[in-house]
Chains A and B, each alone.
Chain A
Amino acid sequence: MLELHLTTPERESPASGLEAGETGLYDLIVLGGGPAGLTAAIYAGRARLRTLVLTGYLPGGQPANTDVVENFPAFPDGVAGPELAQRFLQHARRFGVRLETDEAVKVDFSARPFVIHTSKATYYGKTVIVATGAVPRRLGVPGEDRFFGRGVSSCATCDGFFYRNRDVVVVGGGDSALAEGIFLTRFARQVTIVHRRDELRATKIYREQALANPKIRFLLSTVVEEILGDQTVSGVRVRNLKTGETGIVEADGVFIYVGMEPRTELFAGQLELDEHGYIVSDRRQRTNVPGVFVAGDVQDPLYRQIVVAAGSGAIAAMEAEKFLGGYPDVSSQPGSKAP
Chain B
Amino acid sequence: MFQVNLGAKRHDVIVIGGGPAGATAALYTARAGLTTLVIDKGLTAGALGTTGNIVNYPGVPGPISGAELVRRIREQAASFGAEFVNDKALRAELTGPDKKIWGGQGVYIGRAVIIATGALGRTQHVPGEERLLGRGVSYCATCDGAFFRERQVAVAGNNDEAVEEALTLTRFASRVHFLSPTPALQASPHLAGELRSHPRVLFYPAARLREIIGTERVEAVRFISEGKEQTIPVEGVFIYLQGNLPITDFLEGQLPTSETGCLLVDEHFQTAIPGVFAAGDVLCKHLKQAVIAAAEGAQAAMAVDRYLHGREKLRPDWSKQGVAL
Complex: how many Å from CA A238 to CA B314? 22
Tell me if B316 and A211 are in contact (CB < 8 A).
Answer: yes
A208 part of interface (Cβ distance < 8 Å): yes
Complex: how many Å from CA A75 to CA B69? 9
Mark the stretch among A4-12, A107-115, A128-136 that contacts chain B: A4-12
Complex: how many Å from CA A314 to CA B291? 8
Tell me if A192 and B323 are in contact (CB < 8 A).
Answer: yes
- Residues in chain A near residue B20, CB distance under 8 A: 73
- Residues in chain A near residue B313, CB distance under 8 A: 199
A196 part of interface (Cβ distance < 8 Å): no
Complex: how many Å from CA A43 to CA B57? 9
**CB closest chain-A residue, reference B324:** A247
- Residues in chain A near residue B75, CB distance under 8 A: 76
Complex: how many Å from CA A240 to CA B206? 74
Tell me if A87 and B59 are in contact (CB < 8 A).
Answer: yes
B14 part of interface (Cβ distance < 8 Å): no
Q: Output the least CB separation between A84 and chain B (Å).
A: 6
1/0 contact string of A296-339 vs chain B (CB within 8 Å) = 00000011010111111111001000000000000000000000
A94 part of interface (Cβ distance < 8 Å): yes
Mark the stretch among A15-23, A212-220, A226-234, A273-281 that contacts chain B: A212-220
Complex: how many Å from CA A229 to CA B79? 45
1/0 contact string of B37-53 vs chain A (CB within 8 Å) = 00000000000000001
A70 part of interface (Cβ distance < 8 Å): yes
Tell me if A315 and B292 are in contact (CB < 8 A).
Answer: yes
- Residues in chain A near residue B34, CB distance under 8 A: 204
Tell me if B63 and A5 are in contact (CB < 8 A).
Answer: yes
Complex: how many Å from CA A73 to CA B32? 15
Tell me if B76 and A76 are in contact (CB < 8 A).
Answer: yes
Tell me if A74 and B61 are in contact (CB < 8 A).
Answer: no
Q: Chain B: interface residue count, which band?
A: 35 or more
A42 part of interface (Cβ distance < 8 Å): yes
B9 part of interface (Cβ distance < 8 Å): no
Mark the stretch among B149-157, B185-193, B298-306 that contacts chain A: B298-306
Question: Which of B23, B294, B323 touches A217 (beta carbons < 8 Å)?
Answer: B323
Report if A204-B299 is in contact (Cβ < 8 Å); known contacts: A4-B61, A211-B316.
Answer: no
- Residues in chain B near residue A84, CB distance under 8 A: 59
B259 part of interface (Cβ distance < 8 Å): no
- Residues in chain A near residue B297, CB distance under 8 A: 73
A165 part of interface (Cβ distance < 8 Å): no
Contacting residues of chain A (183-222) with chain B, CB-CB under 8 angstroms: 192, 199-200, 203-205, 207-208, 211, 216-220, 222
Contacting residues of chain B (266-314) with chain A, CB-CB under 8 angstroms: 285-286, 289, 291-292, 294-299, 302, 305, 309, 313-314
Q: Output the least CB separation between B319 and chain A (Å).
A: 10
- Residues in chain A near residue B325, CB distance under 8 A: 219, 222, 238, 240, 243, 245-247
Q: Output the least CB separation between A242 and chain B (Å).
A: 10
Q: Output the least CB separation between B79 and chain A (Å).
A: 6
Complex: how many Å from CA A72 to CA B31? 12
Question: Which of B63, B73, B291, B292 touches A10 (beta carbons < 8 Å)?
Answer: B63
Tell me if A73 and B305 are in contact (CB < 8 A).
Answer: no
**CB closest chain-A residue, reference B30:** A205
Q: Output the least CB separation between A252 and chain B (Å).
A: 16
**CB closest chain-B residue, reference A311:** B295
- Residues in chain B near residue A208, CB distance under 8 A: 33
- Residues in chain B near residue A74, CB distance under 8 A: 57, 59-60, 69, 72-73, 76
**CB closest chain-B residue, reference A90:** B61
Tell me if B322 and A217 are in contact (CB < 8 A).
Answer: yes
A249 part of interface (Cβ distance < 8 Å): yes
B232 part of interface (Cβ distance < 8 Å): no
- Residues in chain B near residue A79, CB distance under 8 A: 59
Complex: how many Å from CA A318 to CA B70? 23
B55 part of interface (Cβ distance < 8 Å): yes
Report if A88-B59 is in contact (Cβ < 8 Å); known contacts: A70-B31, A283-B285.
Answer: yes
B58 part of interface (Cβ distance < 8 Å): yes
Complex: how many Å from CA A35 to CA B60? 13
Tell me if B58 and A5 are in contact (CB < 8 A).
Answer: no
- Residues in chain A near residue B62, CB distance under 8 A: 5, 8
A interface residues (Cβ-Cβ under 8 A, vs B): 4-6, 8, 10, 35, 38-39, 42-43, 46, 70-76, 79, 84, 87-88, 90-91, 94, 192, 199-200, 203-205, 207-208, 211, 216-220, 222, 238, 240, 243, 245-247, 249, 283, 302-303, 305, 307-315, 318
Given contacts A247-B325, A305-B302, 12 further A-B contacts (CB under 8 A): A8-B55, A8-B63, A79-B59, A88-B59, A91-B59, A203-B33, A205-B31, A205-B32, A217-B321, A219-B325, A308-B295, A311-B289
9 contacts between A and B (CB under 8 A): A204-B305, A217-B322, A218-B321, A245-B325, A247-B324, A249-B323, A305-B299, A310-B59, A318-B286
Q: Closest 6 A-B residue pairs measured CB to CB?
A: A311-B295, A247-B325, A76-B75, A76-B76, A205-B33, A39-B58
